[in-house]
Structure 1
Amino acid sequence: MRVLVLGGDGMLGGELVRRLVRDHDVTATVRTAVPPSPPPADRVLCGVDVRHPDRLVEAFAVARPDAVVNAVGLVPRRIEEDGAPAAIEVNALFPHRLARLCAAARARLVHVSSDRVFSGRLGEYHEADVPDPVDLHGMTKLLGELGEPGTLTLRTAVIGLETSAAPTGLIERFLAASGSVPGQRRVVSSGVTAAEFARFVHLALVGHPDLTGIWHLAAEPITSFDLLTMLAARLGRRDLEIVPHDDEVCNRVLTARRLWSVTGYRPPAWPVMVDELAAAIERREIEGVTTRRDPARVSDLVAGQRAASPLPSSTPNGVHTDA
């Protein structure tokens, strides 16, 4: 199957590429002209800003996809930096433009939504529950959800290793900490790791071609405190204390029993997913990327990668520049 992954250099997009390239012909797009570490796709298309329709049409012409996975989206931190207009365009409007393009190309579309379409006041959310987002990220992700034929929208929360030089997610904050890190005992989620999300996308593409509409992809509920405690133990971080906090209250647990019953898929238990995540962290350390995230060291590393890794213009396992 020919698969086009949009946003192939992000946390989720990178994992999607790594999993899908084992069984499919994968084309990945990245927004930057020359990514410091290109995703391991069969071909990488650089300089593809999804807000520019001509670039996207060119990507479709190169990839000729049977399926498209949209891993492009502005997270809350990026919304603070780029502003509301960018969030509306990328999170809310673009998915619908993409759906029309996929329909014209007769390509299936898998779109990533968020558990933040819910406020977190209640928990145990089903697909039929009325969303009640409380911030711009949740509102724009809700507006971007798809219901057209040939589209699959997955609501979830994803954790994993970030590729940004200035990461801000839960796992990267934990890895950058020293001495102690707060662990919220009343913040509950039911997401999955990026690697597990990628596995399900592969399963949906090859095993469930008729799966359409909005579905919840979720594991068992877990608190931030329990997740970080489990990860610290797996990594042997005896130098780091996970300090329990109860000042935040949020329950965005999604119920995925409908997906489990239809597909037969159920995510692994959290110890299994955390073990895989810890192994990825250890591999990154071995490869020389610090989990302590010294900004100067990260900056030097990225600059070194750019200088040491000139990229071909358009070759298999290389980079296609469309400028």
Structure 2
Amino acid sequence: MKLIVTGATGLVGHSIVEAALRRKFEVIAIGGSREIRWPEGVTSASLDLSDPEACDRFLLDEFPDVIINAAAASSQTTVDADPEKAEKLNVALPRRLAQLANHLNARLIHFSTDMVFDGTAAPYRSTDTPSPINLYGQLKLMAEREVLKYGGDFATVLRIAIVTGNSPSGRRSVHERLFADWSEGKKTRLYEDEIRQPVSAANVAELIIELCQRPNLHGIFHWAGSEKLSRYEMGRRIAEHFQLPTDLVEAAQSEGNRQADLSMELQPLMGKVRTTPASFEEQLKSMSVPRWCRAWYASIRGLPPEEIETVRLIKGRDF
């Protein structure tokens, strides 16, 4: 099976490439500006995803079985900083990929987000009416509609929750951002009244590989972890897992226009696949200390220099 993965240097995209390689799939990885030395079995491609003609030529030449779109302006901050660029990546690109997938008789699996909901009526079912409260959620909802309109039975939209794991840069995921604060001597204020359902990138990747082989599963589905946690609970458990002082995390109350509870109902998809949602404890066990702050971590833990390498680390993410 031949897969094209956009956003392949990101947290989720990178995990999908790894999972696809384990299944011996042929993988074409399209990433951003970050250079990764991919192993045998992966073809790295440089492509301007904002250029429709370039995308057309590339996909028509490659003729993939499945297109997995993990490319996006993936935060509200990024979207607000450049709405025009975000619209091209978050709406125009998935629309064009859906059109191409339909033309090629290829599957398209597109990622959306729990942030298409307003957080007032959780847990959300895949059939519930979205009501995003910020531009990021609005663009992702627009993309969902475009993908299903143009992709038809070839398209699957997967709404996922906040993602945990070890990113290629060591700076993208939940625990890595916490380490960034802590290693700079900052305490992190996290909301007690914002509920999320964290999911690991590795678990999402296993599900995606299964969906690649299940063409009958198309439409909109939800996927997340098995536990609902506040942001504060997540941060505290991460500190405890790494045997760090729990006072590095401070409880706070949210202010302004924020989504209180974005937990999702995982049926009917959970009843149709072999992949099972991961608990937060399982996610914690897979988290690594980012390489760039391992010396700080060893010092705060009181580990002698010769034991630094015994700490579970991200090893450069060059595979």
- Counterpart residue identity of residue 20, structure 1: A
Partner residue, 2:29: 28
Go from structure 1 to structure 2 and tell me whether the alpha carbon gap of 1:129 and 1:239 turns closer, same or farther (over 3 Å shift): closer
Partner residue, 2:125: 126
TM-score by length of 1: 0.80
- Counterpart residue identity of residue 172, structure 1: E
Please say if 1:194 is aligned against 2:197: no
Give the C-alpha shift of residue 182 in structure 1: 1.9
Give the C-alpha shift of residue 225 in structure 1: 1.6
Asked if 2 retains the 8 angstrom alpha-carbon contact of 1:259 and 1:265, the reply is no
Asked if 1 retains the 8 angstrom alpha-carbon contact of 2:38 and 2:44, the reply is no
Equivalent position to 2:217, from 187, 204, 211: 211
After TM superposition, the structure 1 stretch with the greater mean CA deviation from structure 2, 107-116 or 155-164, is 155-164
Go from structure 1 to structure 2 and tell me whether the alpha carbon gap of 1:257 and 1:104 turns closer, same or farther (over 3 Å shift): same
Give the C-alpha shift of residue 197 in structure 1: 0.7
Please list every run of at least 4 consecutive aligned residues from structure 1 whose deviation after the TM superposition is greater than 6 angstroms.
Answer: none
Go from structure 1 to structure 2 and tell me whether the alpha carbon gap of 1:239 and 1:142 turns closer, same or farther (over 3 Å shift): closer
TM-score by length of 2: 0.81
Asked if 2 retains the 8 angstrom alpha-carbon contact of 1:18 and 1:41, the reply is no
Please say if 1:135 is aligned against 2:145: no
Asked if 2 retains the 8 angstrom alpha-carbon contact of 1:102 and 1:109, the reply is yes
TM-superposition CA deviations, 1:77-106 (whole Å, max 9, x none): 32233x111122211222121011111122
Equivalent position to 1:259, from 238, 250, 269: 269
Give the C-alpha shift of residue 255 in structure 1: 0.9
Give the C-alpha shift of residue 164 in structure 1: 5.2
SS of the equivalent of 1:126 reads: coil
Partner residue, 1:301: none
Go from structure 1 to structure 2 and tell me whether the alpha carbon gap of 1:108 and 1:42 turns closer, same or farther (over 3 Å shift): same
TM-superposition CA deviations, 1:47-66 (whole Å, max 9, x none): 31211123323432554311
Partner residue, 1:14: 14
Equivalent position to 2:189, from 175, 179, 182: 182
Identical pairs, percent: 23
2 CA distance for matches of 1:107 and 1:40? 25
Alignment of 1:5-84 (within 5 A): 5-23=5-23, 24-32=25-33, 35-40=34-39, 42-61=41-60, 63-75=62-74, 76-81=76-81, 83-84=82-83
Go from structure 1 to structure 2 and tell me whether the alpha carbon gap of 1:130 and 1:51 turns closer, same or farther (over 3 Å shift): same
TM-superposition CA deviations, 1:181-236 (whole Å, max 9, x none): 22321111113111111111012123x22100000112221211221222212212
SS of the equivalent of 2:153 reads: coil
2 CA distance for matches of 1:89 and 1:263? 33
Please say if 1:151 is aligned against 2:155: yes
1 CA distance for matches of 2:294 and 2:220? 35
TM-superposition CA deviations, 1:1-46 (whole Å, max 9, x none): 11110111112111111111111111101233xx332454733444
Go from structure 1 to structure 2 and tell me whether the alpha carbon gap of 1:239 and 1:133 turns closer, same or farther (over 3 Å shift): closer
- Counterpart residue identity of residue 184, structure 1: Y
SS of the equivalent of 2:190 reads: strand
SS of the equivalent of 1:133 reads: coil
Where does the alignment leave 5 or more consecutive residues of structure 1 unmatched? 294-304, 310-316, 318-323
Give the C-alpha shift of residue 265 in structure 1: 3.6
Partner residue, 1:223: 230
Where does the alignment leave 5 or more consecutive residues of structure 2 unmatched? 297-315
2 CA distance for matches of 1:80 and 1:200? 31
TM-superposition CA deviations, 1:238-285 (whole Å, max 9, x none): 375222222356111111122112225421211012211x2xx24x43
TM-superposition CA deviations, 1:140-199 (whole Å, max 9, x none): 00010132211110001223344458x565333211122532232111111311111111
1 CA distance for matches of 2:220 and 2:251? 35
Please say if 1:290 is aligned against 2:293: yes
SS of the equivalent of 1:72 reads: coil
Go from structure 1 to structure 2 and tell me whether the alpha carbon gap of 1:270 and 1:80 turns closer, same or farther (over 3 Å shift): same
After TM superposition, the structure 1 stretch with the greater mean CA deviation from structure 2, 62-71 or 231-240, is 231-240
Partner residue, 1:298: none
After TM superposition, the structure 1 stretch with the greater mean CA deviation from structure 2, 214-223 or 42-51, is 42-51
